[in-house]
Amino acid sequence: MDEVLYYYFNLAVIQRYWPAMLEGLLVTVKVAVLTILIGIPAGLFLAVVRTYGIRPLNWLIVFFVDVFRTLPLLVVVVLVYFALPSAGVVLDPFWATVAALSVVLAAFCEEIFWAGLSSVHVGQFEAARSTGLTFNQAIFIVVLPQAIKLAIPPLTNRAIAITKGTSLGSVIALQELLGVATSSQSVAANPSPLMLGAILYMVLFFPFVRLTRWLEKRFGQRRGG
């Protein structure tokens, strides 16, 4: 037991690297929040654009979604950081990570919102149009609110999965939580910082996991009812 405490929960080591770990946690939170604030609205926008049935735009959207749902997150992070400078776009590790995660989240969210829009019975749209609403009014007032409710449970699941990819920022020298924990472990020759990082990840994401379960039960019961 003493060996376990020494190697994995060494208080002296944890105390030494605690300030750096908190800074890494703050970076992780910032990246996760920005990814959600950018990725989800972008996915919703693309899904709404698809409802207008403009073929060239729809083809581009489907191509975008298929590509970024296929590529591993790590590949997207590396491409954004190392390939974009060739096109004259230079991003620091923080914004490169945010951009990469946001693009991938947008691709998944577009499919989730599109599935929600497709699940709303066409009769709802036709009934709205028959009352005198314009196409835009029928979409935004009648169809879209129902689609968003249907999309919330899978949306929260996907957002959690993508935002945990903040750890991939360490590949491009982003000093987020896992990157700081890994470097601290190497310097201290003790895995206690890594264990602390795992605990902080749990503290950060556990409330969102519980929220997802609650949303699944709430909206699942409504659909079942």
Give, to the nearest 10 degrees, the angle between helix 11-50 and helix 93-119: 50
* pLDDT > 70 fraction of the chain, expressed in percent and rounded: 95
Identify the band that residue 219 occupies on the pLDDT scale cut at 50, 70 and 90.
Answer: low
pLDDT at 67: 96
| Cα–Cα distance, 44 to 201 (Å, whole number) | 28
- Is the confidence at residue 225, as pLDDT, over 50? no
- pLDDT tens-digit profile of 136-155? 999 999 999 999 888 888 88
Domains and CATH numbers, the chain: 2-224 (1.10.3720.10)
pLDDT at 160: 83
Computed over every residue of the chain, the mean pLDDT equals: 88
pTM: 0.87
- Is the confidence at residue 158, as pLDDT, over 90? no
Q: Which helix (H) or strand (E) holds 207?
A: helix 192-224
pLDDT at 136: 92
How many of the other CB atoms lie within 10 Å of CB of 118? 13
Q: List the structure tokens of 8.
A: 């994995």
- pLDDT tens-digit profile of 42-82? 999 999 999 999 999 999 999 999 999 999 999 999 999 99
- pLDDT tens-digit profile of 7-48? 678 888 888 989 999 999 999 999 999 999 999 999 999 999
Identify the band that residue 224 occupies on the pLDDT scale cut at 50, 70 and 90.
Answer: very low
pLDDT at 6: 67
| Cα–Cα distance, 201 to 184 (Å, whole number) | 16
Structure letter (DSSP) for residue 142? I
Any idea which residue has 């990082």 for tokens? Answer: 197
How many of the other CB atoms lie within 10 Å of CB of 186? 12
User: What end-to-end distance do the CA atoms of the chain give, in Å?
Assistant: 52
- Is the confidence at residue 159, as pLDDT, over 90? no
- Is the confidence at residue 223, as pLDDT, over 60? no
Closest by CA position to 194, among listed 10, 28, 23: 10
| Cα–Cα distance, 177 to 97 (Å, whole number) | 13
- pLDDT tens-digit profile of 81-109? 999 999 899 999 999 999 999 999 999 99
Closest by CA position to 112, among listed 209, 186, 46: 46
- Buried b / exposed e over 71-91, threshold 16 CB at 10 Å, is eebeebbbebbeeeeeeeeeb
Pair 13, 192: CB distance under 8 Å? yes
